[in-house]
Amino acid sequence: MPEQKPGRLHIAIVGYGTAGQAAAILLSRDGHRVEVFERSPSLGPVGAGVLLQPVGLRVLWEMGLLEIALDHGRRVDRLFGETPAGLPVMDMRYANLDPRIYGLGMQRGALFSILAAAVNDEVQVHCARRIISCSEDGRRIEDDAGCSHGPFDLVLGADGSTSLLRVSAGPPKLDRPYPWGALWCLLDESDWAFPHELRQRYVRARKMIGLLPVGTRPGDPTPRLSFFWSLPTARFEAWSSAGLAPWLDEIRALWPEAHGLLDGIADAAQLSRASYRDAIPRRWQRNRLALIGDAAHAMSPQLGQGVNMALLDALALRDALREASSVEAALAGYEQIRRRHVRAYQFWSRWLTPLFQSDLDTIGALRDLAFHRLGRLWGMRGLMLRVLSGTQLGWLGKVVLPEPFLAVLEHAGRADPAGSRLDSSVVSNRRENHGQFPAS
């Protein structure tokens, strides 16, 4: 078969999560004809909140969506974790890497609706289509009702951590669930004392509570916090059937201020259950199929990178299709570029997760003693902050963020004297530019 120079391609995207949405936006803007196949009967976000890192914000900036994201999200300057006795375990400030950068806490619903509103009207989205396989040549997909769709010039597997298309790229090197997961939900921010910090509290590695400020979402001006409670997935049912009272008592003992925020929680069903996978495909692409997002590199959310990686994948794929001489060359180039970035994160995530989510008490005790101290050693602080911000590249390199992006981030993130989220003139300017978005 002669190589086809990428012109206007007919592209199928399987999955309408962050990776699928970002790819649909970027590829349709480049003139490609995009069809999305989503298994859920209706479109919407899953989960509570997410921390966007500077590398992910940079992709939103490239898409022209940074300002509306900043308008809703909450600037996060610091990650601080301690034991109930007040021993600091983790203390990282973005400003120690670069005073212009910060993270952005966002409600999943806000990110979903901002991306959904930016998806071109010409993109066809088919709901309730669970895609179970991709043909050998990567041009056809089949759903669980036995319908075949295609042929396409390119199929993108953006079907998340439990991807069914992963095996179509080749047998994975690793693909297994983590034994630990989490319960999470959104809470009213009320008068929470740390509106610009991700705060965590740990008991060894067995227990972890997290509170991340995530701001508002389109159509709902109430600022929220994303609440996280770590739990082995095998204990989800036991937790639910024990009723909320003993669990709430435990939280009151560990973190009275966090307990005060849980007044509105009266039913276990108000908390969503999250489980994670660790997946390393040997190949991210084969013929006309490419994997993006968690389908390509599912990992535990301990480093808070998954959404950022999904955004970076979509941008790298768009750029590769623009520059390469054929679709095949573009996919190979995309895999090479993104693998280089992701590899170190897979390593760190695998080794760090048991320090924060496991039954290993000795490991937890060592972490309490050493983690914070390590972060103050010469060289280690920079490394940890680069990993956190998503800018670590391989073992020695770093992702360079464009100066114009950093200038926008710095200007937008300036807190006004009253301590509100952003400079008020910047906010009103944005409202004029973006108008209103629908509620999610």
Ligand X SMILES: Cc1cc2nc3c(=O)[nH]c(=O)nc-3n(C[C@H](O)[C@H](O)[C@H](O)COP(=O)(O)OP(=O)(O)OC[C@H]3O[C@@H](n4cnc5c(N)ncnc54)[C@H](O)[C@@H]3O)c2cc1C
Contact between 15 and ligand X per CB under 6 A: yes
Among 35, 38, 335, 368, binds ligand X (CB under 6 A): 38
Among 20, 81, 195, 281, binds ligand X (CB under 6 A): 20
Contact between 236 and ligand X per CB under 6 A: no
Residues in the chain: 440
> What is the nearest approach in angstroms of ligand X to the Cβ of residue 52?
7
Query: Which one, 373 or 393, has the nearer CB to ligand X?
Result: 393
Among 24, 27, 37, 125, binds ligand X (CB under 6 A): 37
Residue 394 has which token pair? 């391989």
- Please choose, out of 13-21, 76-84, 356-364, 416-424, the segment that lies near ligand X by the rule CB under 6 A: 13-21
Query: Which one, 80 or 366, has the nearer CB to ligand X?
Result: 80
Token pair 């400030």 is at which residue?
A: 93
Contact between 375 and ligand X per CB under 6 A: no
Query: Which one, 50 or 331, has the nearer CB to ligand X?
Result: 50
Residues 173-202 that bind ligand X (CB under 6 A): 182, 184
Contact between 130 and ligand X per CB under 6 A: yes
What is the phi-psi region of residue 199: left when phi exceeds 0, alpha when psi lies from -120 to 50, beta otherwise? beta
Residues 307-336 that bind ligand X (CB under 6 A): 307-308, 310
Contact between 168 and ligand X per CB under 6 A: no
Query: Which one, 18 or 200, has the nearer CB to ligand X?
Result: 18
Contact between 19 and ligand X per CB under 6 A: yes
Whether residue 312 contacts residue 341, with contact meaning beta carbons closer than 8 Å, is answered with yes
Query: Which one, 4 or 201, has the nearer CB to ligand X?
Result: 201
Query: Which one, 155 or 320, has the nearer CB to ligand X?
Result: 155
Among 67, 82, 159, 197, binds ligand X (CB under 6 A): 159
- Compute how many residues bind ligand X; rule: CB under 6 A: 33
Query: Which one, 18 or 135, has the nearer CB to ligand X?
Result: 18
Whether residue 413 contacts residue 75, with contact meaning beta carbons closer than 8 Å, is answered with yes
Among 13, 14, 59, 355, binds ligand X (CB under 6 A): 14
> What is the nearest approach in angstroms of ligand X to the Cβ of residue 306?
2
> What is the nearest approach in angstroms of ligand X to the Cβ of residue 397?
20
> What is the nearest approach in angstroms of ligand X to the Cβ of residue 14?
5
Whether residue 227 contacts residue 184, with contact meaning beta carbons closer than 8 Å, is answered with yes
- The interaxial angle of helices 361-374 and 327-356, nearest 10 deg, is 110
Residues 271-310 that bind ligand X (CB under 6 A): 274, 276, 293-294, 301, 304-308, 310
Q: How far apart are CA 183 and CA 235, in angstroms?
A: 11
Query: Which one, 305 or 391, has the nearer CB to ligand X?
Result: 305
> What is the nearest approach in angstroms of ligand X to the Cβ of residue 162?
6
Query: Which one, 200 or 216, has the nearer CB to ligand X?
Result: 200
Contact between 40 and ligand X per CB under 6 A: yes
> What is the nearest approach in angstroms of ligand X to the Cβ of residue 422?
21
Among 18, 216, 358, 392, binds ligand X (CB under 6 A): 18
Query: Which one, 287 or 300, has the nearer CB to ligand X?
Result: 300
> What is the nearest approach in angstroms of ligand X to the Cβ of residue 392?
15
SS (H, E, C) the chain: CCCCCCCCCEEEEECCCHHHHHHHHHHHHCCCEEEEECCCCCCCCCCCEEEECHHHHHHHHHCCCHHHHHHHCEEECEEEEECCCCCEEEEEEHHHCCCCCCEEEEEHHHHHHHHHHHCCCCCEEECCCCEEEECCCCCCEEECCCCEECCCCEEEECCCCCCCCHHHHCCCCEEEEEEEEEEEEEEECCCCCCCCEEEEEEECCCEEEEEEEEEEECCEEEEEEEEEEEEEHHHHHHHHHCCHHHHHHHHHHHCHHHHHHHHHCCCHHHCEEEEEEEEECCCCEECCEEECCHHHHCCCHHHCCHHHHHHHHHHHHHHHHHHCCCHHHHHHHHHHHHHHHHHHHHHHHHHHHHHHCCCCHHHHHHHHHHHHHHCCCCCHHHHHHHHHHCCEECCCEECCCCHHHHHHHHHHCCCCCCCCCCCHHHHHHHHHHHCCCCCC
Residues 45-64 that bind ligand X (CB under 6 A): 50-51
Among 57, 104, 110, 131, binds ligand X (CB under 6 A): 131
Inter-CA distances, 88 with 153, 207, 368, Å: 53, 15, 8
Question: Contact positions toward ligand X, by CB under 6 A?
Answer: 14-20, 37-40, 50-51, 130-131, 158-161, 164, 182, 184, 274, 276, 293-294, 301, 304-308, 310
